[in-house]
Amino acid sequence: MTAIRRTKILATLGPATQSPAVLDAMFEAGMNVVRLNFSHGDPSAHIGLANLVRERAKVCNKPVGILADLQGPKIRIARFKDGKVNLTEGDYFTLDANLDTNAGDQQQVGIDYKALPEDVAAGDTLLLDDGRIVLMVDKVEGSRITTQVVFGGELSNNKGINRQGGGLSAAALTDKDKQDIITAAKMEADYLAVSFPRSADDIHEARRLLQEAGGHAAIVAKIERAEAVDAIEEIITAADAIMVARGDLGVEMGDAALPPIQKRIISMARRMNRITITATQMMESMIQNPIPTRAEVFDVANAVLDGTDAVMLSGETAVGKNPIKTIAAVHRICLQAEQEREIRVSRHRIDSHFELMDEAIAMGAMYLANHLNVKAIAALTESGATTLWMSRISSGIPIFAMTPHTHTARRVTLYRGVYPIPFPRPHDDHATLNRAMIDELERRGVVNKGDIVIITKGDLEVAGSTNALKLVQVGSMIEPQLNKLSCE
């Protein structure tokens, strides 16, 4: 069987990737989930693009998930009369919450985030444009923040503002975000990403608003504030998935702090059975160039070795010249990194006591898979929960989520090592159902005669709960030496 990539590729759509032909090529290259960036476009455009994605996914026979990414608070400067200025070290420069939006000049500029003067004090360090411009706060008078330039350079319209060490009070969910949550529910998004959460309360509020709008997406917490790192355990508990969003996080925490933070967050999230996404500048040079830098190759590979479920591409696929080549490059790097033995073995929860029967079945299946010559795991699943638990165990064995539900097939597209198979439950008895599942894997070329497969599923009268595990050998559904290991 051809090697199957376990790490998923999440790609942002934009002007470079909205045509049917390009979407088809992205699916073929290995894209698993698409990201719709709600910082740009209007609701009707987002819904139209989601419909196009699902239409092309159906044509290509590729289950695909959709992640709707909320903009979050606009903590940005306003605009300059001439589009940009050049700041010189030692100069004084003012940020004025009351200045006209388009009146910026060499001495001052307006700010979109009107509460900034209340959040900063003399001696604070402000970082603009992802830290390229560094300003030291000299004094705050009413709406005006007078700063001295520490590191200068070109500053153009609408660049972001961060306070070193965090501490800005902007709410995670703006009025625009609350309207966009309604749009995400209408498009039946599979994932909803919350930008700049500070605590679990932000995640709970997003989930409540989504449910009130009729949505059922999993909630992704984007870790991009210093405060979020301090509250990481409670945020992971509240969310379904965690995104290590290294742009703003790196500015607030400092670049050198990012690698250990990334490793710690991914490790903690996996222990807590949450999905993880690594994002920001993964293949940045490929926006312009046809091949990645060696540093980018190492970055993607290290994220895989850390155990991330998915690698996210932003500008590389939204506006880049080489979206297909970028996806193909990430695919190759992930496949190679996944060959390392250290990420194919696991002690995850080896000493734990399990409270749920289906979680115990999931862990038992992975223990058997990693200690026998098992070719594949076939999990008949309603919600996908069993396959999520399985995917927290490091292994090189593919897990196939066989489900009759479209929303479940879309949801598992982000789970590391899990592959959705639309599978209507066609039979009532276990033996016939087992054979149908194996026949489907054979039809897809996943297994061959003689291969050992683990099947997990629920009793027919207990919908939504996995309580059965069976080892079978392809071509011989009754195998004497394996029958004694059946838990069915």
Which residues are annotated as catalytic?
A: 35, 76, 222, 280
Contacts of 175 (CB under 8 A, 6+ apart): none
Please compute, for residue 488, the number of CA atoms within 13 A of its CA located in the half-sphere on the CB side: 19
Specify whether the CB–CB gap between 251 and 285 falls below 8 A: no
The burial class, CB within 10 Å (0-12 / 13-18 / 19+), for 70 is buried
At 148, list the tokens: 């001295």
* Amino acid type, 21: A
Q: At what angle do helices 43-60 and 175-186 cross, to 10 degrees?
A: 30
Closest by CA position to 326, among listed 291, 279, 277, 281? 291
- Structure tokens given for 12: 């942002």
Question: Are 57 and 27 a contacting pair, CB within 8 Å?
Answer: yes
What's the token pair of residue 283?
Answer: 């293949």
For 256-269, the DSSP string reads: GGHHHHHHHHHHHH
Residue 68 φ then ψ, to 5°: -95, 120
How many angstroms separate the CA atoms of 186 and 66, rounded? 12
Q: What's the per-residue H, E or C state across 94-141?
A: EEECCCCCCCECCCEEEECCCCHHHHCCCCCEEEECCCCEEEEEEEEE
